Amino acid sequence: MNTTTTIPVHRTTESRLTGLDINNLPFGKVPADHLFIARYSGGEWREARIEPFHKLTLSPFSLCFHYGQTVFEGMKAFRMENGSISIFRLQKHHERFNRSLERMGMPDIPYELFREGMRQLIELDSQWVPSGKDTSLYIRPFVIATEEKLGVKISDEYLFLIVCTPVGAYYARPLRVKVETEFIRAADGGTGFAKCGGNYGGAFLPTQRAVADGFDQVLWTDAQNREFIEESGTMNIMFLIDNILITPALSATILDGVTRDSILQLARARGIKIQERKVSIRELESALQSGTRAEAFGAGTAAVVAPIESITIGAETYGCYVEEDAVMFSFKRELQALRTGKADDTWGWNEVIPV
Ligand code: COI
């Protein structure tokens, strides 16, 4: 399809905004008024349109219900100081979306379709972008396999949707995490680097057990020896030890986080020493035991920077530094300033929609 043409829009006649406080909503519960949808069949994306938010009618035979061909992205748009809207790192998210789709044998999304669909949707729902502290419009592009067949096969038909929801802070307080050594999240050659539904579904039971034991999240370890730290729940993990920013290097089992990448670039520009490498449980434990100031945090689109207040390794629990002057919070502030136009976007990360 020609994606440069204007996408047909069917506007809602009754906005659900009236009477809603979009600066105080639980994460991911209230959809904005409209959605973007396109259909894939016969080898191409077609019928792209914007419609009032609605439920989907799908055959129970749709392949997405059975064999897990589902891929999503998580993005954010911010209300800028001058009233405009900035979508954060649209191009990088698009590239990752296509890498995930490729791994799951699904058709890629042309950049113009992704960008134009999202821009026009957010322009139409611009009133849904909140302006309160730590708020944003969370954007969820996703693709599902819709061919109707119970036979195990790669789907020939798909839907691509973009839905949005106003959100505030993802976590209310610093996290208590445990190093997980029974279950794993991803193995070499698997789908760990992709944002596919199964990666999240497989994490629920271990996380539920950790929560039952009083933790908020798990720190995933490698599939082979349960020796190296990989990720923190649904986020990348970062440590600041002895003024060095340390994070596991990207691999087939680690998501190429956009927040992770952005923090690394900000840190590099400040002259902070960075190490992207394997981080063993033993190394982490001896750093935590030594009593040096150690910061640990999750980096992800939803939470941005999620401070970790304690890490439990086996029977031992160690505290991490989560005071106001911790360096991790300065990354969060710097990102916030850049996204809202308080600081210059020297990186070219903002996709601005003038309002
Ligand atoms: C993110 O922080 O980017 C995530 O993927 C979390 C999301 C699944 C809510």
Task: Using the predicted structure, report yes or no on whether residue 52 has a pLDDT greater than 60.
Answer: yes
Distance from the alpha carbon of residue 1 to the mean position of ligand 1, in angstroms: 30
Whether the CB-CB separation of 16 and 52 falls below 8 Å is answered with no
Which residue owns the Cα nearest ligand 1 atom 3?
Answer: 301
The pLDDT score that the predictor gives to residue 4 is 55
Distance from the alpha carbon of residue 302 to the mean position of ligand 1, in angstroms: 5
The domain locations on the chain are 34-168, 175-340
Which residue owns the Cα nearest ligand 1 atom 8?
Answer: 234
Identify the three-state secondary structure at position 272. Answer: coil
The pLDDT score that the predictor gives to residue 6 is 79
The predicted model gives 31-50 an average pLDDT of 98
The pLDDT score that the predictor gives to residue 355 is 87
Distance from the alpha carbon of residue 257 to the mean position of ligand 1, in angstroms: 10
Ligand 1 site, CB within 6 A? 74, 234-235, 300-303
Which residue among 27, 204, 301 is best mutated to probe the pocket of ligand 1, counting the most ligand atoms within 8 A of its Cβ? 301
Whether the CB-CB separation of 82 and 352 falls below 8 Å is answered with no
Whether the CB-CB separation of 223 and 231 falls below 8 Å is answered with no
Distance from the alpha carbon of residue 204 to the mean position of ligand 1, in angstroms: 14
| Class in CATH terms, 34-168 | alpha beta
Whether the CB-CB separation of 88 and 258 falls below 8 Å is answered with yes
The predicted model gives 303-326 an average pLDDT of 97
Whether the CB-CB separation of 139 and 76 falls below 8 Å is answered with yes
The pLDDT score that the predictor gives to residue 5 is 60
- Please choose, from the candidates 338, 29, 355, 348, the residue with its C-alpha nearest in 3D space to the C-alpha of residue 163: 29
The domain 175-340 is placed in CATH, from the list 3.30.470.20, 3.40.50.300, 3.20.10.10, 3.90.1200.10, at: 3.20.10.10
Q: What share of the chain is helix, strand, coil (3-state, %, to 5)?
A: 25, 30, 45
The predicted model gives 47-55 an average pLDDT of 98
CA atoms of 87 and 340, how far apart (whole Å): 10
Distance from the alpha carbon of residue 76 to the mean position of ligand 1, in angstroms: 11
Whether the CB-CB separation of 309 and 178 falls below 8 Å is answered with no
CA atoms of 237 and 308, how far apart (whole Å): 10
Query: Which DSSP category does 131 fall into?
Result: -
Atom from ligand 1 closest to the CA of residue 27: 9
**CA 319 and chain centroid, separation:** 26
Which residue among 97, 165, 167, 235 is best mutated to probe the pocket of ligand 1, counting the most ligand atoms within 8 A of its Cβ? 235
Q: Predicted confidence band at 2 (pLDDT cuts at 50, 70, 90)?
A: low
- Please choose, from the candidates 168, 162, 108, the residue with its C-alpha nearest in 3D space to the C-alpha of residue 136: 168
Distance from the alpha carbon of residue 46 to the mean position of ligand 1, in angstroms: 28
Buried b (16+ CB within 10 A) or exposed e, 36-50: bbbbbeeeebeebeb
What lies within 8 Å, CB to CB, of 162 at 6+ separation is 35, 36, 117, 118, 121, 139, 140, 141, 142
Task: Using the predicted structure, report yes or no on whether residue 320 has a pLDDT greater than 70.
Answer: yes
Residue 176, CA atoms < 13 Å, CB-side half-sphere: 10
Which residue owns the Cα nearest ligand 1 atom 7?
Answer: 302
| Predicted confidence (pLDDT) per residue in 76-109, tens digit | 999 999 999 999 999 999 999 999 999 999 999 9
Distance from the alpha carbon of residue 301 to the mean position of ligand 1, in angstroms: 6
